[in-house]
Structure 1
Amino acid sequence: MNDFEWRRQLRELRQPQAPRRDLWADIERSLDRAAPTEAAPHRATATRTTWLFAAGLAAVTVLAVGLMRMAPAAAPATSTDVASVPVWKPDDPRLAGAAIELTAAQYELRQAIQQSPNSAALQRLLDRTEQQESRLRQLGHDAS
């Protein structure tokens, strides 16, 4: 079969074709048979859906309560936490913004370490932040 034959067959497929027999009679018969028995399965499905929804809601509630009980209570921030972060105010106004950001970062890291004291990653971040503040202090000292 060559390319011209394929194209001719494809053109024939585009032509509308009537069904070999009337389909509406079969459709009406199947609808008439399904109508009386359709109400009972729908009611059963609705009841089942309601029960499944209620069970899912109960499961989510139990899970939420369990997670709330497992979560440690967050310690409220006190004024002594803020005092533990040394506040440094550089004389050079160009360094003031960086000093504020570093002080805030140290404060947040110390709060996170209080909640998770065994976190080595948080401790490394705090050490890096303190090193950056030390470099910034050195820049402020060199600029003055």
Structure 2
Amino acid sequence: MNELEYLRQMRSLNRPTAPRRDLWAGIEARLDEAPAVATPRHRRAQPWLMAAAIAAVAVLSGGIGLHLAPGGSDAMPEARTAWKPADPRLTGAAVELDAAHMELTQAMKDSPQSAALQRLLQKTERQRDRLRNIDKQAG
């Protein structure tokens, strides 16, 4: 086969061709047999899975931050004595707030004059205080 024959064969592939048999009848029959609406069953679990994933990422990033901080885990002693609520429904929020507090404290070491970081740190501390009050009221 030379190049000219190859080019002729390639040009013949560029022409439209009709199928040997009508495919639409089979497709239409299968569409009639299929259920009208398929509802996925995993929709109910998505919010819980997202919350669990966010909590896992926060805990993992906090642990990595502790080990990568200068001086090892001794650099932030408040992280080792983190407050744990008695009500298990509040544990996720406590972990998130502790991780946020730890990250903001580390960021404040890098830029201590940042007013935005100071506001965020104060807001996080207020949220931690509110969570402690909710835990006290709950039981």
| Structure showing greater Rg | 1
TM range (shorter): 0.3 to 0.5
> Normalising to structure 1: TM-score of the pair?
0.45
TM-score between both structures, scaled by the size of structure 2: 0.47
